[in-house]
Amino acid sequence: MTFVPPPSEPPLPPLTLTSLPLFPLGTVLYPGGMLSLRVFEVRYLDMVRKCQQAGAPFGVVALTSGQEVRQAGAAPEQFHDAGTLANIAEIDTSHPGLIVLRAEGSARFRIVRRHLLPHGLWVADIEQMPPDVPLPVPEDLRNTAAALEQVLARLRHRGADDPSSLPDPTPEQLDDCGWVANRWCELLPVPLDLKQQLMQLDSPLLRLELVGDVLERTGIAP
Over the chain, what HEC string results? CCCCCCCCCCCCCCCEEEEEEEEEECCCCCCCCEEEEEECCHHHHHHHHHHHHHCCCEEEEEEEECCCCCCCCCCCCEEEEEEEEEEEEEEEEEECCEEEEEEEEEEEEEEEEEEECCCCCEEEEEEECCCCCCCECCHHHHHHHHHHHHHHHHHHHHCCCCHHHCCCCCHHHHCEHHHHHHHHHHHCCCCHHHHHHHHHCCCHHHHHHHHHHHHHHHCCCC
Enumerate residue ranges in the chain where pLDDT < 50. Answer: 1-10
Residue 139 is predicted with a pLDDT of 97
Residue 20 is predicted with a pLDDT of 95
145 lies in some domain: yes
For the chain, the domain total comes to 2
133 lies in some domain: no
Residue 5 is predicted with a pLDDT of 43
Question: What predicted TM-score, i.e. pTM, was given to this entire model?
Answer: 0.88
* 120 lies in the same domain as 70: yes
* 111 lies in the same domain as 205: no
* 99 lies in the same domain as 169: no
Domain boundary among 97, 128, 159: 128
Domain boundary among 94, 128, 162: 128
Which domain, by its residues, includes 25?
16-128
Residue 219 is predicted with a pLDDT of 75
* 121 lies in the same domain as 24: yes
6 lies in some domain: no
152 lies in some domain: yes
* 118 lies in the same domain as 144: no
60 lies in some domain: yes
Nearest CA among 182, 177, 103, 102 for reference residue 141: 177
61: CATH = 2.30.130.40
151 lies in some domain: yes
76 lies in some domain: yes
Instruction: Please state, in angstroms and rounded to a whole number, the distance separating the CA atoms of residues 56 and 106.
Output: 12
DSSP conformational letter for 73: T
